[in-house]
A and B are shown apart, each in its own frame.
Chain A
Amino acid sequence: MSALRAIMRKEVSDHFSSSRFLILFSLIAMVSVLMVYMAGLKIAQDLEGEVKPTFVFLMLFTSSGIGFPLVQFVAFFGPLVGLILGFDSINREWNEGTLSKLLAQPLHRDAVINGKFLAGVLVIGVTLTAIVLVITGLGLVTLGVVPGAEELYRIFFYLLVSLVYVCFWLGVAILFSILFRSITTSALASLASWIFFSFLIPAAASAAPPLSGESQTGYVMRMAELERTLSLFSPMRMYLESMAVIVDPLRRTASALVAVGRNEDISLSRFAGPLSLDQSLLMVFPQIVFLVAILVLCFAVSYIVFQRREIRSI
């Protein structure tokens, strides 16, 4: 246990003192502060004259001042944080010959990978929490509202799911750093997978042309179906869907398009109030489970590959 702690402590201090992390962190902090500030101004303008607006605070995360809302920003660029923290974690130690020195000490081999992973989780957690706290502060200033208990719970879950999502990408990067001995290769592989899952798959989902003789409704339905299928392969979609519901109590569906008949329409309009937190969570439970599952899977694969590596090649 003390070995795991020692490795974790060293990794965390390495991360926090590396210029790579500092640059990335200040970049993300700057962009998100700017985005939220603009969103705040816009919300204040929109709410002008409204008597009793609800859940104003959460709008900071979902409404877009310039470009896109914060939730989407994290969905796109959160993975970069995970990738940058992890892509050279194992292969750098290989190349510099420190890995066999570590392993010659009285520790189990998994202490190395667990320590590195946990250190990454801690750093990501601190980063996300810091950004959310700054945003909360900014919200107080620009909107002049204090978040209620319900909103704080939702922000907590927002943080938790974001942590899982970014840590999944940390896991991907660590896996590549075990699979590839060259740091450049693992960096490229990490970037490639990020681009593939975050940009290409969503793009492919919206690129299908209508079939000849297909009705407009039929096309829209088919596209929605296609998107749903493809999103099974896109962690970003899963994250966005769950986020949309968690930070917006008025959302009652995770998908972008739902076909409603007359009866559903009536019942939907009858219950137009905001959902309670547990109902929102229940709705996106599959998405959250999916994110946790791919995180666990990714870590498990890295763990097994690392445990079986022949040391002589280290």
Chain B
Amino acid sequence: MPGQPAIQTQELCKRYGAQVAVDRLNLSVAEGEVFGFLGPNGAGKTTTLLMLLGLTEPSSGTARVFGLDPRRQPIRVKRQIGYLQENMGFYRDLDARQMLDFIAELNGLPAKEAGERARAALRAVGLAEEAGKKIGAYSRGMRQRLGLAEVLLKQPRIAFLDEPTIGLDPDGTARMLEVIERLTREHGMTVLLCSHLLEQVERVCTRIGIMITGRLVAQGTLAELRTAKFGVGGEEYTLEQIYLRYFRESTA
């Protein structure tokens, strides 16, 4: 459906006992957007991602991914989403090619296409040379890049990238951001990017949401957020200053 938001949540809540992880979240991300999802550790960002993936049941409220309900149609939703998780695990005894082959098989890709996609994905993240090495011998940055290769292999319509640049060297970070930008530009992929590195978010994201203790305290473009906090003429403020302002006000 044209004009349908890629992600939409209404009054989405998740409670663990008395603790509220996500509190009445109303989030809307249009197709093709790079949405920066900011917030301190434990703010409920990852929980939100898991609810959108259908891996965690919401306590109340609704979530929609391209109009699909992740609770009722988890398989169709998961087909659309590539998820690069924080602290992701790998099978250490496999090499990168075997890992990608396994992911391709889980996604039901035919072997020939899987091979082509895997080669392209490894080239894109700069791991083509090391593809035959066991993952157990990879550095943290290499694993992170392999994680991105897994997302690319799937060619999803939406990518959830949870702290994708942690542990990467400057070259790796630049390459990662480049890949993200190219994906949205060339393939119209929607990206939900969680990160603490605000400079990067400022660089690649078209819109930004700030989540603090389970509540979305702001969402909009950088200019909109700036105006909301500092009034017209506050152009010199960086995202970091805006974010800290929101954070201190919400936790005060």
A3 touches B106 (CB 8 A): yes
Q: Mark A7-49, 1 if CB is under 8 A from B, else 0.
A: 1011000100100000000000000000000000000000000
The contact of B78 among A6, A98, A106, A311, by CB within 8 Å, is A106
Contact size class for A? Answer: 20 to 34
Question: Which segment, of B47-55, B185-193, B227-235, B242-250, faces chain A?
Answer: B47-55
Question: What's the nearest-Cβ distance from chain B to residue A20, in Å?
Answer: 13
A3 touches B50 (CB 8 A): no
A7 to B105, CA, bound (A): 9
A-B contact count (CB 8 A): 72
A98 touches B89 (CB 8 A): yes
B105 touches A311 (CB 8 A): no
The contact of A312 among B56, B78, B81, B92, by CB within 8 Å, is B56
The contact of B53 among A6, A102, A104, by CB within 8 Å, is A104
B50 touches A105 (CB 8 A): no
A107 touches B106 (CB 8 A): yes
Residues from chain B with a CB closer than 8 A to the CB of A96 are 89-92
Residues from chain B with a CB closer than 8 A to the CB of A102 are 106
Residue A193 is within 8 A (CB to CB) of chain B in the complex: no
A6 to B170, CA, bound (A): 36
Question: What's the nearest-Cβ distance from chain B to residue A81, in Å?
Answer: 21
Which residues of B, 155-206, contact A by the 8 Å Cβ criterion? none
**B residues contacting the other copy or chain, number (CB 8 A):** 29
The contact of B85 among A10, A97, A106, by CB within 8 Å, is A97
Residues from chain A with a CB closer than 8 A to the CB of B81 are 104
A103 to B105, CA, bound (A): 14
Residues from chain A with a CB closer than 8 A to the CB of B90 are 96, 98
A5 to B92, CA, bound (A): 21
> Contacts A104-B78, A108-B75 given: A6-B85 contact, CB under 8 Å?
no
Question: What's the nearest-Cβ distance from chain A to residue B202, in Å?
Answer: 28
Residue A262 is within 8 A (CB to CB) of chain B in the complex: no
Residue B123 is within 8 A (CB to CB) of chain A in the complex: no
Residue A101 is within 8 A (CB to CB) of chain B in the complex: yes
Residues from chain A with a CB closer than 8 A to the CB of B55 are 100, 103-104, 311
Residues from chain B with a CB closer than 8 A to the CB of A7 are 106
Which residues of B, 119-141, contact A by the 8 Å Cβ criterion? none
A2 to B21, CA, bound (A): 35
Name the residue on A nearest B21 (C-beta). Answer: A312
Question: What's the nearest-Cβ distance from chain A to residue B135, in Å?
Answer: 11
Residue A93 is within 8 A (CB to CB) of chain B in the complex: yes
Residue B241 is within 8 A (CB to CB) of chain A in the complex: no
A108 to B107, CA, bound (A): 12
A93 to B88, CA, bound (A): 11
Question: What's the nearest-Cβ distance from chain A to residue B103, in Å?
Answer: 7
Question: What's the nearest-Cβ distance from chain A to residue B144, in Å?
Answer: 13
The contact of B50 among A5, A14, A106, A311, by CB within 8 Å, is A311
Residue A265 is within 8 A (CB to CB) of chain B in the complex: no
Which residues of B, 79-111, contact A by the 8 Å Cβ criterion? 79, 81, 83, 85, 87-93, 102-103, 105-108
Question: What's the nearest-Cβ distance from chain A to residue B151, in Å?
Answer: 10
A132 to B87, CA, bound (A): 45
A105 touches B107 (CB 8 A): yes
A312 touches B16 (CB 8 A): yes
The contact of B102 among A10, A93, A97, by CB within 8 Å, is A10
Question: What's the nearest-Cβ distance from chain A to residue B250, in Å?
Answer: 23
B88 touches A101 (CB 8 A): yes
Q: List 24 A-B contacts (CB under 8 A).
A: A2-B105, A2-B106, A6-B105, A6-B106, A9-B105, A10-B91, A96-B90, A97-B85, A97-B87, A98-B90, A99-B89, A100-B85, A100-B88, A101-B89, A102-B106, A104-B53, A104-B83, A104-B85, A105-B78, A105-B106, A106-B75, A106-B108, A107-B75, A310-B56
With A6-B106, A9-B105, A96-B91 given, name 9 new contacts (CB 8 A): A6-B105, A98-B91, A101-B83, A101-B89, A106-B76, A106-B78, A106-B106, A107-B106, A312-B56
Which A residues are within 8 Å of any B CB, using their own CB? 2-3, 5-7, 9-10, 14, 17, 93, 96-108, 310-312
Give the 9 A-B residue pairs with the shortest CB-CB distance, closest first. Answer: A97-B89, A6-B105, A98-B89, A96-B89, A311-B55, A106-B78, A105-B106, A104-B83, A106-B79
